[in-house]
Chain A
Amino acid sequence: MIEFRGVTKRFPDGTVAVDKLDLVVEAGGITVFVGPSGCGKTTSLRMINRMIEPTGGTILVDGRDVTATDAAELRRGIGYVIQHAGLFPHRTILDNIATVPLLLGWSKAKARSRAAELMEIVGLAPEMARRYPAQLSGGQQQRVGVARALAADPPILLMDEPFSAVDPVVRESLQDELLRLQSELGKTIVFVTHDIDEAIKLGDKVAVLRVGGVLAQYDQPGRILARPIDDFVDNFVGRDRGYRGLGFLSSDAIPIGELPTIALGEPVPDDDAWVLVVDSEQHPQGWLNGAERNGATVVEADHLVPGGSLYDIGSGSLRSALDAALSSPSGQGVAIDAEGRVAGSITADDVLRALDDVRRDVAAA
């Protein structure tokens, strides 16, 4: 648990980067600091491991003042991941990851075997161990950076815009990896980003900071989307916050309708309606538009119109349900179960009706 008590950072030239910040970072979750340039998010993060020293206030980690411990020792107990990874170019990937364990005095063999474990955990192929950072792509380097931070199994992980320097596709997979890792490891993570979408996706709690280092709002992402505290937060969160907010609302109440399916290879029905085509495992393949069947006799892959997004009954939200309905060429969203098999249909009307119910429940809470 990390506590900021009236923490201030004033630089010698007079700029106040962080202004009397009071915040409690809860243990075991991902807390995101987000805000525009100059809001002090990185400065705040770097005060936790004393890369920057506060000019006022105190920071407590698990009840102990960070200034009470020797800085180098403090840092060995906190994982630190930065934007361009900062991997040591002169050491192999394996030795890079083994750095902190070696600093802590582990034997070389033990440190290296731990490093190999971590490579597997972050999804790096074992043959990368003997390579050098210059030979890796940006995304791979970032994975190494995360592995390196986790090597000594610190309870706290500080991440300073770790995914900002990679392209959006790689960024998304790294974000998903982080969420998966976190579900296995349960670390206390403080994550800094300027991207509100990343904050909302990753954060269990999000702290929105204003220019000048002032805390604007600190809450669960769903609540920030639903109830921004002022115009600044509203603007910062951006457009479509209503729609994005649906991502945090449960969709259990939505009824799943019947959805007749037809398999590949079966005869084409003599009907102008849309029909969902599945494979032998009941996985959706696409839609057949009956009105344009043009004399086809057997259902083949070429005839299919690509379907929209899929709504997963177990893990989906109102947003994914609505999107499934809206993006379907037939107007019927496809609902699937955990194995990816077709479970039924969903319409936009169903979602909006469920939305009313959910909002009533939230207002009552």
Chain B
Amino acid sequence: MNLIAEMVAWLTTAEHWTGSGGVPVRLLEHLYYSGLAMLLGLLVAVPVGVAVGHTGRGSFLVVGAANALRALPELGLLILLVLSMGIGLLPVVLALTVLAIPPLLAGTYAGVRNVDRSVVDAARGMGMRESQVLFKVELPNALPLVLGGARSAALQVIATAAVAAYVSYGGLGRYLIDGLRQQDYAQMVAGALLIAVLALVVEAALALLQRAIVSPGLRGGARRSPTVDVARSEHDAPSTQRPPAPELAGVER
């Protein structure tokens, strides 16, 4: 188990934790790009997902876009943007944001769409205005799937931020790339471990967040990956279909 010993040795070397190439700095860089990308992704994806989910128009576009964007190779996108814009924060964050959008969009759309139609009908029937229906009823009920999408997006972003090191940018990926160039296997593996641990910690934190802000009345059910749900809703699997409510045909607002 030479590998583990080497990795531990690397991790316990003090100088690896200090200076501009030290773990804390790289970690913060990594979190910085990821956080920025998530923020931008949320700003773009959530309004679109909510709008399409609420009105039901343009769903085909959303589902198609989410699927197509998932096919986009992160490395290629990153490199292309860097070549066009030069090395810097903008291309990296832009690439990460583009990758964060599909799961966020899919999650938000699926979340809003899957809110029971009779709950929305009851809300309108009681006299809530459209904005109230959206904010007081649809969004809280969409939260489990939206947060599921956010968790997928966060993982995607953290994973891709590791790749940013290839274009000479910072982040924990530097240990992988530098290690590869220097044939320093211990560094590579230590870097890989750090990235994996970061991902797990962020995932756990988001899971706790989800537990904290989602209403207890909604627990148990909506924890599946939103990407599969979106694919499923376009496929009309019968077990997830609710019988169409005939009285809701022709409702006008």
Contacts and interface: CB of A to CB of B under 8 A. Distances in A.
B213 to A, nearest CB: 11
Nearest to B126: A100
A229 interface: no
Interface stretch (B9-17, B23-31, B72-80, B215-223): B215-223
Contact of B127 (A43, A46, A76): A76
Interface centre among B118, B124, B217, B249 (most CB of A within 10 A): B217
Interface residues of A, number: 39
Contacts of A103: 126-128, 132
B215 A80 contact: no
Interface residues of B, number: 31
A188 interface: no
A267 interface: no
B119 interface: yes
B21 interface: no
A44 to B, nearest CB: 11
Nearest to B253: A71
Interface in B208-253: 214-218, 220, 245-247, 249-252
Given A52-B250, A89-B217, A133-B217, A75 B124 contact: yes
Contacts of A53: 252
A132 interface: yes
A86 interface: yes
A42 B247 contact: yes
A72 B127 CA distance: 4
B121 A86 contact: yes
A90 B250 contact: no
B107 to A, nearest CB: 17
Interface string B110-151: 000000101111111111110010000100110100000000
Contacts of B252: 51-53
Interface string B191-218: 0000000000000000000000011111
A280 B249 CA distance: 60
A51 B124 contact: yes
Interface in A124-163: 132-134, 145, 148-149, 158, 160
A84 B118 CA distance: 7
B251 A89 contact: no
A83 B118 contact: yes
Contacts of B126: 75-76, 80, 99-100, 103, 148-149
A91 B126 CA distance: 15
B102 to A, nearest CB: 26
A72 B128 contact: yes
Given A42-B247, A132-B217, A133-B217, A100 B127 contact: yes
A134 B127 CA distance: 23
Contacts of B128: 72, 103
A87 B215 CA distance: 14
A106 interface: no
A226 B73 CA distance: 76
Interface centre among A75, A100, A158 (most CB of B within 10 A): A75
A49 interface: yes
Contacts of A99: 126
Interface in A78-116: 80, 82-92, 99-100, 103
Interface centre among B126, B128, B216, B247 (most CB of A within 10 A): B126
A277 B46 CA distance: 73
Contacts of B214: 90
A11 B250 contact: yes
Given A52-B250, A132-B216, A80 B116 contact: no
23 contacts: A42-B247, A46-B251, A51-B252, A52-B251, A53-B252, A72-B129, A75-B126, A76-B126, A76-B127, A77-B127, A82-B118, A82-B122, A88-B123, A89-B217, A89-B218, A90-B141, A90-B143, A90-B217, A90-B218, A99-B126, A134-B218, A145-B122, A148-B126
Given A52-B251, A82-B122, 7 more contacts: A46-B247, A75-B124, A77-B127, A85-B122, A90-B143, A149-B126, A160-B247
Interface of B: 116, 118-129, 132, 137, 140-141, 143, 214-218, 220, 245-247, 249-252
Closest 5 CB pairs of A and B: A86-B122, A132-B217, A76-B127, A75-B127, A90-B215
